[in-house]
């Protein structure tokens, strides 16, 4: 199952801390659980998925007994999963994944899509989800940066959707090509707006001269 939130996190295009803190109450986390969970995301962001109670204790300034209890609570609540991996030296190593947390956050985003504070992030997620499904792969960091640029430039979702669908109909969904078309169309609209503004100003000055 494709998880958009996880995909965005892995290419460093999403602030997962911000989302978890926003949904803190709905996720029903205790303060210590939140602390450990955020640290696990930090480690995962550094490509470190090895589970070490001592490392977590040192990083969070909690004693190891509390950390072990919190890790068990996160396992029971379905935020964390642990597997045993065999290293090259034939040693067993505990590794963790946070797939269920990603899924919980994604479901909350979908449930709370009316939230204005996350409207921008939801728009980004929806667009990337659509493109990802059509391409059959995750977007590259460069492609995500293009989508983010559309948002930062306040390109309407309607325009983006129209261009994407038109590109699909023509059988060539290429993000850079879509970007060029969107830039062209948005530039054209801006020129029309400037012309409308000029006409209004001209009419105003004509009226006061009479």
CATH number of the domain that residue 135 is part of: 1.10.10
Beta bridge partners of 86: 92
Same domain, 191 and 138: yes
- What's the number of domains the chain is made of? 2
35: domain CATH number is 1.10.10.10
pLDDT over 70 (residue 191): no
Which of 100, 135, 154 is a domain's end point?
A: 100
Same domain, 8 and 95: yes
Residue 80 within any structural domain of the chain:
yes
Residue 23 within any structural domain of the chain:
yes
Average per-residue pLDDT in the chain? 78
Same domain, 71 and 141: no
Same domain, 96 and 24: yes
By residue range, what is the domain housing residue 183?
A: 116-207
Q: What would the mean pLDDT of 85-107 be, rounded to a whole number?
A: 86
CA distance readout (Å), 95 to 4, 51, 113: 22, 5, 33
The reported pLDDT for the residue numbered 114 is: 41
Residue 180 within any structural domain of the chain:
yes
**pTM of the predicted model as reported, rounded to 2 decimal places:** 0.57
Beta bridge partners of 82: 96
- How far, in Å, CA of 98 to CA of 82, rounded? 9
Same domain, 24 and 66: yes
Same domain, 8 and 96: yes
Residue 108 within any structural domain of the chain:
no
pLDDT over 80 (residue 55): yes
- How far, in Å, CA of 4 to CA of 1, rounded? 10
At residue 128 the predicted structure's pLDDT band, cuts being 50, 70 and 90, is: confident
Same domain, 51 and 128: no
């Amino acid at each position: 199952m494709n998880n958009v939130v996880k995909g965005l996190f892995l290419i460093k295009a999403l602030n997962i801390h911000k989302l978890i803190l926003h949904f803190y109450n709905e996720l029903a986390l205790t303060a210590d659980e939140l602390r450990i969970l955020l640290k696990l995301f930090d480690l995962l962001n550094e490509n470190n998925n090895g589970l070490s109670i001592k490392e977590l204790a040192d990083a969070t300034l909690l004693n190891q007994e509390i950390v072990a209890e919190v890790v068990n609570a996160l396992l029971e609540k379905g935020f964390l999963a642990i597997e045993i991996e065999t290293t090259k030296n034939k040693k067993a190593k505990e590794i963790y994944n946070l797939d269920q947390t990603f899924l919980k956050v994604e479901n909350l985003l979908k449930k709370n899509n009316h939230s204005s504070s996350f409207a921008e992030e939801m728009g980004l997620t929806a667009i990337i989800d659509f493109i990802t499904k059509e391409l059959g792969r995750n977007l590259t960091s460069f492609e995500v940066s293009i989508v983010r640029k559309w948002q930062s430039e306040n390109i309407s979702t309607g325009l983006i959707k129209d261009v994407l669908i038109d590109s699909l109909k023509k059988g060539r969904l290429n993000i850079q090509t879509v970007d060029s078309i969107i830039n062209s169309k948005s530039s054209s609209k801006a020129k029309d707006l400037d012309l409308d503004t000029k006409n209004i100003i001209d009419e105003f000055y004509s009226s006061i001269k009479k």
